[in-house]
Chains A and B, each alone.
Chain A
Amino acid sequence: MQKKILEFTNILRKSGIRVSPAESIDAFAALDDLSVEDREIFQDALRATMVKRGEEVPTFDELFDLFWSGFYDNLRDSFAQATGELGEMGVDFETLVQQIVEMLNGMEGDFGDLSELARALLTSDLSQLENLIRQAAEGAGADRIENFLQVGFFSRRTLEGMGLEDAREELGGLADALEQAGMSPEQIAALRKLIEGLMEAARRSVRAFTERELQQQNHDYMEKFRRETLLEKSFYHLSEEEIRKMREVVERLAQRIKNILSIKKRRLKRGKLDLRQTLRRNMSRGGIPFELIFKRRKKDRPKLVILTDVSSSVANVSRFMLQFVYSLQEAFTKIRAFVFVSELGEVTPIFQEKDISEAIEDALEGGTVINVYTRSNFGHAFHHFWQNYLSAIDNKTTVLILGDARNNYNDPRAWCLREIHHKAKNVVWLNPENPSAWGFGDSVMDKYLPYTDVAEECRNLRQLSKLVDSLLL
């Protein structure tokens, strides 16, 4: 059982559910205390000990079915069919086996001389069969299966490994011996038919096992592939489904940063005694310091002002930038967010009132805040910001600008950005275009570049997360 659980743990890991060794030990311990007979409780126990994220539960349940229930059911059906066929011949399986055992007792040979497999087959001992198939499949390396063309190959190797042909000969020999010992012709015919049926059932089960193995492996590959490529995939080419998946990935990246930040912060604790404040507060008690006042450690959490271009050319980058920043809200003292195309509008309140995905849709949708169906005009947007919101910036503020700087040949008004840069702690510009394109065509990135402290290409999630990392850590 432990081995099976470890195997299952590996499959979970390959599918991206991080099960730590401590957690698999918990799972073992849990099963010591529970009866494994009740599948539901068994599944609940494994889930509670190994899966700690809501969004991983469906994957777990799917793999659980694949691993624990599916195969056994399959096995049962195959063998039920083989033994059921006897019924058509008017022979009862149980009685037949009983008679065989009795006859063997009268002869010198005995049931124990048969190989494990032959015995398990003849008695339809399903859990023993399951074990033998698993062992043989492992020996055959079936967990390395990659595509369905290999199903035949690995099934054959598994069958060879478990010695099905030998078992067939053994059982054939047994039938011969029983025939000579005087078993009735009808019963011998039934026995021979049963043997054929069992062979077929074994073959079918092994094939089913290999197919399941393939499904499991594919599940792993698909998951891994999806996640890897999502990180690299350009924001310009995302399907609806990918956008949904991407949100989870962003959430995970943000959580990572939060964990690192919290560990860092724990090192800074209460500050020193504030002597002056303490004396002042305790004047009335004759200067005896009944109440102590401590200096607060200053938290140097950055203030953040984000300006995001939400024109359709960069809408996806903006979406994840906003999600990223807002998932990290507590890492900043204050965040103010603005969106622009040509008009510029503040979206901070939307983020305070709505849940994140709704807020982002709102910020990106037209009408509510600004008109998004115009052509990008960075100059106009910066000017508007300079006129109305410059006071939002002080020397602790990081200004994060996100846009492709494609200005449709309008006036870039770079001086506005210069003023912003002058007041801010720093200005970071993320551009989804490759630097080699900056300044060409209607790109005015080169005009803005002198007033940024950092300007980087940000075309996919990996780049985005690296940038946010360096901003905070």
Chain B
Amino acid sequence: MFENVAHVLEELGKQDYICDKKIGTVVFLAQQLEKPVLVEGPAGVGKTELAKVVAAATGRRLIRLQCYEGLDEAKALYEWEYSKQLLYTQILKERFSQAMSGAKTLREAAERVAQEDSVFFSDHFIVPRPLLEAITSPDPVLLLIDEVDKADPEFEAFLLEVLSDFQVTVPELGTIEATQRPLVFLTSNNAREMSDALKRRCLHLFIDYPTEADERRILELKVPGAAEGLVSDVVGMMQRLRDLDLKKLPSISETLDWARALLALNARELDEDLVNQTFNVILKYEGDVRKAQGELDKLLQKQAIREGAPVPAPGAPQKPASASKKGALH
């Protein structure tokens, strides 16, 4: 249990997750109000990671439902283990004939078999999928519904029903209610906008690209061996890259990949050659690489000015406001 927002930040920090008050507040509210959180934001800013660290920090088991096009109720909720049912009927043939022996008419025989129905439609033959697992779990869990925007709108409508009251109806078994409400995180890259109805049921959290200071802290945590100069160069460069008009802006995962790659090359700071060699680690499109190379002078020159300038110490230059707009949803 988190006691307050500050406590959330502290506990997530212990899980090596760097975040601001905004994230802390929403996580705290999710716990207090028992409401699902819809986390939106560009790729790679730590949406999935947030759910994972909250699970770890609260000692909840993580149950993950990865969404994709074509995902349906059966794969998300439960399936009858049909072949097992059939196997049992074969094995129990004997018992059936016993039950049926003495039946005078076909109808009577059928009725007797029907009475045994409930044997075959019991928990014994049900295969729980993540949603049912989360609802029936006896210990506290965190349900992560990842990339919900990839699922079809029909599936979203179904989720809505489940998330409204955390109960599901299996026609053969009746209604199953959650023994304890799972914490629910839904993540979306905004491939498709979620319906208003779903949003109304959720707390909303928009995670943007990190500030320069936060990104530096993340790097220091996750790539411990990197030289201080390298960290500054990488973070500065990433922040400026996000000001360019690129098709895909590089995210935290790219920052980490890049720093690791540079570290493997024994780099202690960035120079033009090095950047050119490794651009493909952070930029995924040919067009973006070209665009960035065109601006390389500016990207690196700024840095030279910053290094040469007497006043701003590393960490001091703040991200310009325009950078955060880039991540906004369009």
Chain A residues with CB under 8 Å of chain B are 18, 20, 22-23, 26, 29-30, 33-35, 38, 40-41, 44-45, 47-49, 51-55, 57, 247, 251, 255, 258-259, 261-263, 265-266, 288-292, 330, 354-355, 357-358
Answer whether A54 and B328 are a contact pair too, CB < 8 Å, given A20-B200, A48-B29, A49-B29. yes
Q: Is the CB of B86 within 8 A of A51?
A: no
Question: Please, which residues of chain A bring their CB within 8 A of the CB of B26?
Answer: 44, 48
Q: Is the CB of B328 within 8 A of A55?
A: yes
Q: Is the CB of B32 within 8 A of A259?
A: no
Answer whether A52 and B200 are a contact pair too, CB < 8 Å, given A262-B152, A266-B157. yes
Question: Please, which residues of chain A bring their CB within 8 A of the CB of B193?
Answer: 53, 251, 255
Q: Is the CB of A266 within 8 A of B204?
A: no
- B69 to chain A minimum Cβ distance, whole angstroms, is 9
Asked if B94 is at the interface of the complex by the 8 Å CB criterion, the answer is no
Q: Is the CB of A55 within 8 A of B329?
A: yes
Question: Please, which residues of chain B bring their CB within 8 A of the CB of A41?
Answer: 5, 21, 25
Segment at the A interface, from B33-41, B103-111, B175-183: B33-41
Closest A residue to B201 by beta carbon equals: A22
Q: Is the CB of B206 within 8 A of A54?
A: yes
Q: Is the CB of A33 within 8 A of B21?
A: no
- A55 to chain B minimum Cβ distance, whole angstroms, is 6
Answer whether A265 and B153 are a contact pair too, CB < 8 Å, given A51-B204, A55-B329, A288-B90. yes
Q: Is the CB of B33 within 8 A of A258?
A: no
Q: Is the CB of B195 within 8 A of A262?
A: yes
Question: Please, which residues of chain A bring their CB within 8 A of the CB of B90?
Answer: 288
Answer whether A52 and B196 are a contact pair too, CB < 8 Å, given A26-B35, A41-B5, A261-B153. yes
Docked complex Cα distance between A55 and B158 (Å) = 26
Which residue in B82, B153, B247 is a CB contact (below 8 Å) of A354?
Answer: B247
Q: Is the CB of A259 within 8 A of B153?
A: yes
Docked complex Cα distance between A290 and B81 (Å) = 10
Docked complex Cα distance between A422 and B49 (Å) = 55
Asked if B214 is at the interface of the complex by the 8 Å CB criterion, the answer is no
Question: Please, which residues of chain A bring their CB within 8 A of the CB of B156?
Answer: 262
Answer whether A52 and B199 are a contact pair too, CB < 8 Å, given A30-B32, A290-B82, A292-B82. yes
Question: Please, which residues of chain A bring their CB within 8 A of the CB of B202?
Answer: 52
Docked complex Cα distance between A292 and B153 (Å) = 26
Question: Please, which residues of chain A bring their CB within 8 A of the CB of B22?
Answer: 44
Docked complex Cα distance between A20 and B35 (Å) = 16
Docked complex Cα distance between A450 and B97 (Å) = 72
Which residue in B83, B196, B206 is a CB contact (below 8 Å) of A57?
Answer: B206
- B158 to chain A minimum Cβ distance, whole angstroms, is 7
Q: Is the CB of A33 within 8 A of B28?
A: yes
Docked complex Cα distance between A255 and B152 (Å) = 13
Which residue in B4, B25, B35, B196 is a CB contact (below 8 Å) of A259?
Answer: B196
Q: Is the CB of B29 within 8 A of A33?
A: yes
Question: Please, which residues of chain A bring their CB within 8 A of the CB of B82?
Answer: 290-292
Q: Which 5 A-B pairs have the closest CB atoms?
A: A262-B153, A54-B329, A52-B199, A44-B25, A33-B32
Q: Is the CB of B247 within 8 A of A355?
A: yes
Docked complex Cα distance between A118 and B140 (Å) = 56
Q: Is the CB of A258 within 8 A of B153?
A: yes
Which residue in A45, A52, A265, A288 is a CB contact (below 8 Å) of B29?
Answer: A45
Q: Is the CB of A22 within 8 A of B25?
A: no
Docked complex Cα distance between A247 and B329 (Å) = 12
Docked complex Cα distance between A54 and B205 (Å) = 9
* 12 residue pairs bridging A and B, Cβ less than 8 Å apart: A22-B201, A34-B28, A48-B25, A48-B29, A48-B205, A49-B203, A52-B200, A54-B190, A262-B156, A288-B86, A290-B83, A291-B82
Closest A residue to B325 by beta carbon equals: A58
Question: Please, which residues of chain A bring their CB within 8 A of the CB of B205?
Answer: 48
Question: Please, which residues of chain B bring their CB within 8 A of the CB of A330?
Answer: 152-153, 192
Question: Please, which residues of chain A bring their CB within 8 A of the CB of B5?
Answer: 34, 38, 41
Which residue in A34, A51, A290, A358 is a CB contact (below 8 Å) of B25?
Answer: A34
Q: Is the CB of A26 within 8 A of B33?
A: yes
- B167 to chain A minimum Cβ distance, whole angstroms, is 18
Docked complex Cα distance between A30 and B202 (Å) = 13
Answer whether A48 and B158 are a contact pair too, CB < 8 Å, given A54-B328, A259-B195. no
- B47 to chain A minimum Cβ distance, whole angstroms, is 13
